[in-house]
Amino acid sequence: MSHELTSEQQGLVDTVRDFADSVVAPAAYEYDTRRELPYAILAQMGEMGLFGLPFPREYGGQGKDYFQLCLAVEQLARVDQSIAVTLEAGVGLGAMPVWRGGTQAQKEEWLPMLAQGRALAAFGLTEADAGSDAAGTRTTARLEDGQWVIDGSKQFITNSGTRITRLITVTAVTGETTRVDGTVKKELTAFLVPSGTPGLTVGPAYDKVGWHTSDTHPLSLDDVRVPEANMLGVRGRGFANFIQTLDEGRVAFAALCTGAAQGCLEEAVRYARKRTVFGRTIGENQHIAFKIARMQARVHAARLAYYDAAHRIVAGKPFKMQASLAKLIGSEAAMDNARDATQVFGGYGFLNQNPVARHYRDAKVLEIGEGTTEVQLMVIARELGF
């Protein structure tokens, strides 16, 4: 398999890289300090077509594929993980469930605004007792007079409280069956809940260690009523559909991890070439040079891993294990490179205005979000037959 980019793909990389360096990077520290989502930058990303990369033109998309979305996410993550995850979650977790499982009417209503970046959608799966263990879901939905009535709560929901958030996809228990052994199996179904629906409350934003620009909130649903037509996909298939969404999302998330690792590498190389100590640059010291060489090795492995997984998605091949491998390798590469880059910078790496300091704070969540490291190991082990 060749991982050489086509001229079209390379053109996308170059365009997004230039945008990241000239527009996103100069504003990153200011917005991170103010903990604000830069709507003007998101609007520019919408005009560039980034939110519509994997969707058909008939729905306002660019008619590209999932791999090209990953390429764009990687370039943004080099300079600002918060902006990258806003795109990754908005497309991979927010809009993709509508594209994959929505009816024609649902696609026509929601996809154009999402694909053009005029609106954001969120992915409401995680609860206090139900993250990787989706069977622990306690949010319920019952059908009553032609409406679904939803009650429960969600937490750690990205893009759920922005001023352009228009839709939240929510999973809820719609029934239970008792197995022969006496255990109970929950029937999970997904629903489209428009922002502003009575009973839907977006809680205060979390005070996070990193990803300060990314929008993340808890949600509560109290007697939330949506039309019967707002059910997404087939009743009882919510868990299966969301697993597919998570598997795909992990590949784009792995691209984000790779971009973060690459950003740390670039900063470390730049600094090691110019910082002079005891009459020579620190990069002339073998210890520093070898540290940076290991950073390059991690980036290379992470990029190959997500390229492989993304190509499998595009080709319609099984990719579950490859998605978990990419997410595992990428998140560890980002965390290790953030630590090493901060060490290369010394005291300067401990200043928040330094990009490596922001990467150091941001990178830890990469080993947690969209399935922890332990969950990825569990998936890989299961795919190996254990």
Does 186 have pLDDT greater than 90?
Answer: no
Handedness of CA 110, 113, 114, 116 (dihedral sign): positive
User: Average pLDDT in the 118-129 region?
Assistant: 94
CATH number reported for the structural domain that contains residue 360 in this entry: 1.20.140.10
Between CA 51 and CA 150 the distance in angstroms is 29
- Let me know if 383 is a catalytic residue: no
Which helix or strand (DSSP H or E) is residue 274 part of? helix 238-274
Does 139 have pLDDT greater than 70?
Answer: yes
Residues 338-354 pLDDT 10s: 999 999 999 999 999 99
Looking at the structure, tell me whether residues 114 and 161 fall in a common domain: no
Is the distance from CB of 152 to CB of 127 less than 8 angstroms? yes
The CA-atom distances, in angstroms, between 93 and each of 20, 51, 117, 290 are 22, 12, 14, 38
Residue 60 forms part of a structural domain: yes
Q: What share of the chain is helix, strand, coil (3-state, %, to 5)?
A: 55, 20, 25
Residue tagged 């649902």 (tokens): 106
One-letter amino acid for residue 308 of the chain: D
Active-site residue, selected from the candidate residues 144, 370, 374, 383? 370
Instruction: Look at residue 184 in the predicted model and tell me its pLDDT.
Output: 74
Instruction: Look at residue 1 in the predicted model and tell me its pLDDT.
Output: 58
Residues 11-24 pLDDT 10s: 999 999 999 999 99
Of 179, 212, 238, which residue sits at a domain end?
Answer: 238
Looking at the structure, tell me whether residues 317 and 254 fall in a common domain: yes
Looking at the structure, tell me whether residues 379 and 258 fall in a common domain: yes
Of the candidates 136, 157, 276, the residue with the CA atom closest to the CA atom of residue 205:
157
Instruction: Look at residue 2 in the predicted model and tell me its pLDDT.
Output: 65
The confidence band for 189, taking pLDDT boundaries of 50, 70 and 90, is very high
Does 178 have pLDDT greater than 90?
Answer: no
Residue 41 structural domain: 7-119
Looking at the structure, tell me whether residues 244 and 377 fall in a common domain: yes
Looking at the structure, tell me whether residues 86 and 127 fall in a common domain: no
CATH number reported for the structural domain that contains residue 202 in this entry: 2.40.110.10
Looking at the structure, tell me whether residues 53 and 102 fall in a common domain: yes
SS3 label, residue 83: helix
Looking at the structure, tell me whether residues 176 and 251 fall in a common domain: no
CATH number reported for the structural domain that contains residue 76 in this entry: 1.10.540.10
Looking at the structure, tell me whether residues 305 and 323 fall in a common domain: yes
Between CA 123 and CA 43 the distance in angstroms is 21
**Buried b / exposed e along 63-77 (16+ C-beta atoms within 10 A):** ebbbbbbbbbbbbbb
Residue 210 forms part of a structural domain: yes
Of 119, 144, 171, which residue sits at a domain end?
Answer: 119
Between CA 264 and CA 343 the distance in angstroms is 11
Residue 1 forms part of a structural domain: no
Does 263 have pLDDT greater than 90?
Answer: yes
Handedness of CA 167, 19, 11, 81 (dihedral sign): negative
Which stretch of 27-41, 93-107, 166-180, 197-211 has the lowest confidence by average pLDDT? Answer: 166-180
Between CA 347 and CA 357 the distance in angstroms is 10
More confident residue, 161 or 135: 161
Of the candidates 241, 232, 242, the residue with the CA atom closest to the CA atom of residue 103:
232
Query: Strands, E, within the chain: which ranges?
Result: 120-124, 140-144, 147-158, 165-178, 184-194, 200-202, 216-227, 231-232, 276-277, 280-281
* Other CB atoms within 10 Å distance of the CB of residue 372: 16
Looking at the structure, tell me whether residues 51 and 127 fall in a common domain: no
User: Average pLDDT in the 244-262 region?
Assistant: 95
Residue 253 forms part of a structural domain: yes
Q: What is the residue-averaged pLDDT of the chain?
A: 95
Residue 302 forms part of a structural domain: yes
Instruction: Look at residue 46 in the predicted model and tell me its pLDDT.
Output: 97
Does 286 have pLDDT greater than 70?
Answer: yes
The end-to-end CA distance of the chain, in Å, is: 28
Both tokens of residue 101?
A: 């499982």
The confidence band for 249, taking pLDDT boundaries of 50, 70 and 90, is very high
Does 299 have pLDDT greater than 70?
Answer: yes
Is the distance from CB of 283 to CB of 267 less than 8 angstroms? no
Which stretch of 134-143, 164-173, 340-349 has the lowest confidence by average pLDDT? Answer: 134-143
Looking at the structure, tell me whether residues 187 and 223 fall in a common domain: yes
Looking at the structure, tell me whether residues 257 and 378 fall in a common domain: yes
- The structural domain count of the chain equals 3
Residues 64-84 pLDDT 10s: 999 999 999 999 999 999 999
* Beta-strand pair 120-124/184-194: unpaired
Looking at the structure, tell me whether residues 252 and 362 fall in a common domain: yes
Residues 209-243 pLDDT 10s: 999 999 999 999 999 999 999 999 999 887 778 88
The confidence band for 130, taking pLDDT boundaries of 50, 70 and 90, is confident
Of the candidates 46, 41, 32, 40, the residue with the CA atom closest to the CA atom of residue 91:
46
More confident residue, 4 or 30: 30
Of 63, 86, 119, which residue sits at a domain end?
Answer: 119
Residue 2 forms part of a structural domain: no
Residue 69 forms part of a structural domain: yes
Q: What angle do CA 173, 153, 121 make, to 5 degrees?
A: 90
Residue 273 forms part of a structural domain: yes
One-letter amino acid for residue 375 of the chain: V
